[in-house]
Chains A and B, each alone.
Chain A
Amino acid sequence: MPRPKLKINPAKCTGCEMCVSVCTMVHEKVVNPKRSRIRIVKEKNFDFKIIVCMQCEDPACVKACPVNAIYIHEKLNIPIVDSEKCTGCGKCVEACPFKAIWIDPVTKKAIKCDLCMGDPQCVKYCSAEAITYG
C-alpha cells in the first residue's frame, strides 16, 4: 500500500502560512514557525514553495537515523519520530531529499509531518486548497 501523504499544489498557495501556525498550535500549543512540520518559502514572482514530508516509500530519514528513532508507524504507515529515542543529531535533516524534516529549536529533537495522526489540521485551514489530503 502506498503511504498516505499531503497533496500539495504550490501554484494555489497564497503564502498566508496559516498551515504553519496551525501546525505548531496543534502540536505544541504555541505558535513558532521554526517548530512547524510544514513550511512556506516565498520565491521570486510570487511563487511559494510548500515544504512538507512526502512520506517516501523508502524514507532516507529512517535509514539515516543512527539510533533508529524514526520508524514506520504501524497504523498510519508513515515514518514517525520517536522523540524519546531521538538525539537531535541532524543526520535525518541532512539525508532528506525534500528538506522536510527539522530539528525543533526548543526540544532539540527531529520534527516532521505526522499527518496529525491521520487527521491533518493544516488542510482544514487552507482556503486556497493548496494542501489537500485523501
Chain B
Amino acid sequence: MVKLPGYAGKILYIDISKKKHKVVDVKESFARKYLGGIGFATRILYDLLKEKVDAFDARNPIIISPGLLTGFGVPTFSKVVFASKSPLTGGFSRSVAGGRIGPALKYAGYDTVVIQGRCRKPIYIFIDDDRVEFRKAEDLWGLSTRETEERLKEEIGDKTVATAVIGPAGENLSLISCIDCEERQAGRTGLGAIMGAKKIKAIAVRGSKDLIPYDPDKLLEMLPKIYKECVTHPAYEWDVNWGTAEFIDWMNRERGTFPVKNFQEGFFKDAYAKLKEGEKMPLDPYYWVPKYSVRNRACPSCVKPCGKVFKSRDLIVEGPEYETLYSLGGACGVDDIETVAKAHLLCDLYGLDGISAGVTIGWAMECYEKGLLTKEDTDGIELKFGNGEAMLKAIEAIAYRKGKLGKLLADGVRKAARKLGKGSSRFAIHVKGLELPAYDVRGIKGMALAVAVSTRGACHLTACIYGTELVGKWWKFENIDRLSAENKGYEVKVHEDLMALYDALGLCKFSRHIFFAEKLPEIVNAITGFNVDTAYLMTVGERIYNIQRAFNIKQGFTRKDDTLPYRIMHDPIPEGPSKGSYVKPSELRKMLDEYYMARGWSKEGVPTKVKLVTLDLEDIAEEIGAGI
C-alpha cells in the first residue's frame, strides 16, 4: 500500500495487559472523513466503547492523537489530543496539549496511539519508531512530573525524547488529575487518573521517520506567508508580551465577568480596592510580567509564544496564565501573585488540573466561611478566601488524598458537594462534573449555553465563544449581545464545529483570529492533496461533534445533563459592569431548544437520523436509536 500523503500512515494499538501491540494502516476513506487529531480519537473511542463502562475499566482506552498538521512545522499547528471516557464527567473526554509528544508520534510513524488494558505494577511505555517497549517504572512512581521527565530522559539517554507523564495526583486516581507533556498539560477531565489506573507512569516517544507533505513546494511557498500573518497580527504583541491573561483587567473592570470567590463576585473587588492611583492589579500581567517573567516559552512550531516563565527565588514555572490566575487566584480570593505562581507550580508538579483544583478549593472556602466545613474537617487549615497558604496546603492534600480535606476534595467539586451535602451543591460550580473556567457566564449568555452543552462539561474551548460574546463580534458574527439569551443556538453550534475542526488539525485556538475557517483548506490541501473546501472541513467538525454527542448518549447522558450550576441560574452577579445578570432556567431551556434545532437534534438533544445520515454516520444513527 502506498503511504497516504500527509499522514504518518499508521495507528498504533497497545494492549498493556498483554504487553503487546499492533499496527494498523490509516485508510484514505477514514482519513478524509475524520482528518486526524480529535477526529481520529473520537471515532476510535466511539467504536471501542459501545456499551456503558466504568472509566477505570481496562477497556477504556487512553488515546493520543496529534492533529493532522501537527509535526509539519506550520506556525501554531502543534496540538495533540488526549481522549478517553472521563472519570470526572463519565462522558466524552478530550484534553488538548501543546506537547512535543504530538509531533514526536508522527515522526515515529503514527497518526494516533490507542492504549488499552491495565498493569499490576507501574510501567512506562517507550515508543521508539517501530519498537514499543514496556519498561518498569516502580522507581518513578511517586515522583513529580518534572522529576519523572528528567529521570526518563536520563534513563533513555536522550534529552530529545518527548514525554507525557503523570504526577502523584494521577497515581492517587484524583479525578481532577492531568497529563503533563514536558510542562505543557492535557489538563482537563481527569485523564491523569486514567493513566494512573492503568499504572502507566509515563509514555516516551522518539521518532526518526520522514513526515511527507503532499505538495512540499506549495507548503514551502505558504510558510513565509503564514509566518508573516502570525507575527504581524495585532494579537501577536499581546500574546508575546503579556501571555494569555492580557485582558484580565478588562475582564474585571470593563466586563465584570471575572469570577471571584467561587462566583460570588464578578470582579476582584478586594484586590482593586487596595490599589493606589495608577497601580496595576497584582494578577494583571502588566503588573507581574516586568517583575517576574524571565522568558517566553512556546508550543512546538509556535511563533507567537504565550507561555511566560515566572521566576521568583527558587521557584520557576511556566505560568501562571489566564485560567490559573482565576482558579488559583480570583476564585480563591487570592491576589498575591507569588502565591498564585506557587500554586500553579504545585498543580503542575503534582499533575493536577489547575482549573478544577482551584474551583474545588474555592467551593471548600465558601463552605468553611458558611460554617459547613469546620477546622476539624479541614485538618486544622483556616480555609478562608484570600488565605494563600491554606490554598497551597489544600492543593497538596488533594494530590495525595491526604487527611479529611484531601479525601473530600480529590475528586473535584461535584463529588465533594455530594459527600458533604448541606446544600453545598448549590454553589458547586461545575457542569457534568467539570469545573467552570475563568468566565462568569451569568454575564456571557452564549457562553453559558456553550458550557451547558459541551460534550466534556464546563469548558471554554469546546466552542471557544467567549471572545465573540465579550467583544460582540467575530468572524461571521456581529451585533452579539452577551447579556441576551436570544439567537445563541446557531452561534454556539458553528463555534463548536469550527473548534472540533481545529482540534482535528492541531491548530491552536489562540490562532482563530488569524485562520478562521477560510484559510484552512489551502493548508490542508497542500499537506494531504485532498482538494477540499471550507464547507467540507466544517462538515468534518460537525461530524466529529455529533459522534461525541452520540458517545455521551450511549454512556447515559440526556438533556438533563445539559445544565448549569444552580448559582449561575439563581444568584445574579451582585456588582460591577454585569450587575444583575444571570441565566434564568427558562432562558436556558429556550437556548437549549434553539441549539438542538440548530444542530438538527431532537428536543431531547439526540441527533436525528436525518442529521446523522447527512453526516455519513448512518451506523451511529442505528446504534443510538435515532428517530426520524
Contacts and interface: CB of A to CB of B under 8 A. Distances in A.
Interface stretch (A31-39, A58-66, A72-80, A83-91): A31-39
B299 to A, nearest CB: 7
A31 B227 contact: no
Given A14-B298, A16-B298, A105-B208, A31 B73 contact: yes
A116 interface: no
Contacts of A39: 160
B289 to A, nearest CB: 15
A98 interface: no
A33 B107 contact: yes
A25 B150 CA distance: 30
Contacts of A22: 73, 223
Given A22-B73, A42-B159, A125-B227, A30 B297 contact: no
Given A25-B223, A127-B304, A32 B160 contact: no
B97 to A, nearest CB: 14
Contact of B295 (A14, A18, A106): A14
A8 interface: no
B208 A16 contact: no
Interface stretch (B26-34, B84-92, B209-217): B209-217
Interface in B148-194: 150, 159-160, 182-183
B208 A34 contact: yes
Contacts of A26: 220
Nearest to B150: A44
B159 A12 contact: no
Interface in B278-308: 295-305, 307
A125 B298 CA distance: 13
B219 interface: yes
Interface residues of A, number: 33
Of residues B72, B296, B304, which shows the largest number of chain A Cβ atoms within 10 Å of its Cβ?
Answer: B296
B210 A30 contact: yes
B494 interface: no
A31 B71 contact: yes
B208 A14 contact: no
A12 B295 contact: yes
A20 B100 CA distance: 13
Contact of B159 (A31, A32, A41, A127): A41
B75 A18 contact: yes
A32 B73 contact: no
Interface in B191-238: 207-213, 216-217, 219-220, 223-224, 227, 230-231
B154 to A, nearest CB: 12
A28 interface: yes
Nearest to B226: A125
Interface in B115-152: 150
A125 B224 CA distance: 8
Contacts of B240: 127
Contacts of B271: none
Given A15-B298, A16-B301, A46-B309, A32 B209 contact: yes
A34 B206 CA distance: 10
B316 interface: yes
A128 B306 CA distance: 12
A44 B216 CA distance: 35
Given A14-B296, A46-B295, A125-B227, A28 B210 contact: yes
B318 interface: yes
Of residues B209, B301, B302, B305, which shows the largest number of chain A Cβ atoms within 10 Å of its Cβ?
Answer: B301
Interface of A: 11-12, 14-18, 20-22, 25-26, 28-35, 39, 41-46, 105-106, 124-125, 127-128
Interface of B: 71-73, 75, 100, 103, 107, 150, 159-160, 182-183, 207-213, 216-217, 219-220, 223-224, 227, 230-231, 240, 295-305, 307, 309, 316, 318
The 10 A-B residue pairs with the shortest CB-CB distance in the complex, in nearest-first order: A21-B73, A16-B298, A29-B216, A30-B210, A34-B208, A14-B298, A127-B303, A14-B305, A105-B208, A31-B211
